[in-house]
């Protein structure tokens, strides 16, 4: 994940502003700004490619200064992002209640939307899917957790219920550079 698209950064900034309000948001923009990018003066461009170090910095500041070192908050952030993102890009799968098709399309569009990680899906049966995301490097745990929250939220919007995501390998903890998820859900 040497680079990431602005959409991934925007989701964190929008989540932060919604959760903490405009005044803390302005303060946060100053904290996350670097010599490379001054977020206080330059809005994030969703299509622009940023260094992955910026996303890692944002997550670290979020975790330590605002989320009380609660890593599970990144699951909530991912789900929140899905709730605010999925319909814009995947309305066909939401309207037609197609969770498998959502996952496949998300894997195909990932480079354009996220800009990092190659995602593959393998359908086990109508209620079970294995997902692998190869980042090509070790990632912060926050990214893995926000991915899980995003997948859960997206699947839910596409008609899946009783979603369970079991992480079997994490790119934050292994040298495989890949996250593996076993996903089960109910779908009519």
pLDDT of residue 115: 85
Residue 86 and residue 89: Cα distance in Å, rounded?
A: 6
Residue 50 and residue 123: Cα distance in Å, rounded?
A: 32
58's tokens: 């944002």
pLDDT of residue 84: 92
CA angle 55, 30, 115 (to 5 degrees): 20
101-141 confidence digits (pLDDT tens): 999 999 999 888 888 889 999 999 999 999 999 998 889 99
Pairing relationship of beta strands 49-51 and 118-125 according to DSSP bridges: unpaired
pLDDT of residue 176: 85
Residue 97 and residue 48: Cα distance in Å, rounded?
A: 31
Is the alpha carbon torsion for 22, 27, 28, 30 positive or negative? positive
CA angle 52, 136, 163 (to 5 degrees): 85
Crossing angle of helices 73-95/99-113, nearest 10°? 110
Residue 154 pLDDT > 50: yes
Residue 173 pLDDT > 60: yes
39-79 confidence digits (pLDDT tens): 999 999 988 899 888 999 999 999 999 999 999 999 999 99
Q: Which residue has the higher pLDDT, 87 or 176?
A: 87
């Amino acid at each position: 994940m040497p680079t990431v698209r602005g959409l991934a950064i925007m989701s964190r900034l929008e989540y932060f502003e919604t959760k903490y309000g405009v005044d803390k948001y302005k303060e946060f923009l100053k904290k996350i700004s670097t010599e490379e990018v001054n977020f206080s003066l330059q809005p994030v461009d969703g299509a622009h490619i940023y260094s992955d170090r910026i996303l890692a910095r944002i997550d670290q500041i979020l975790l330590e200064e605002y989320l009380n070192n609660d890593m599970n908050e990144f699951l909530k952030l991912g789900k929140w992002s899905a709730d605010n993102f999925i319909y814009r890009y995947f309305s066909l799968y939401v309207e037609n209640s197609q969770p498998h098709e959502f996952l496949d399309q998300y894997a195909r569009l990932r480079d354009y939307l996220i800009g990092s990680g190659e995602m593959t899906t393998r359908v086990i049966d109508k209620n079970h899917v294995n997902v692998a995301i190869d980042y090509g490097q070790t990632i912060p745990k926050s990214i893995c957790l926000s991915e899980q929250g995003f997948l859960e939220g997206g699947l839910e919007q596409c008609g899946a219920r009783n979603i369970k995501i079991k992480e079997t390998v994490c790119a934050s903890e292994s040298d495989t550079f890949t996250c593996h998820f076993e996903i089960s859900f109910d779908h009519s």
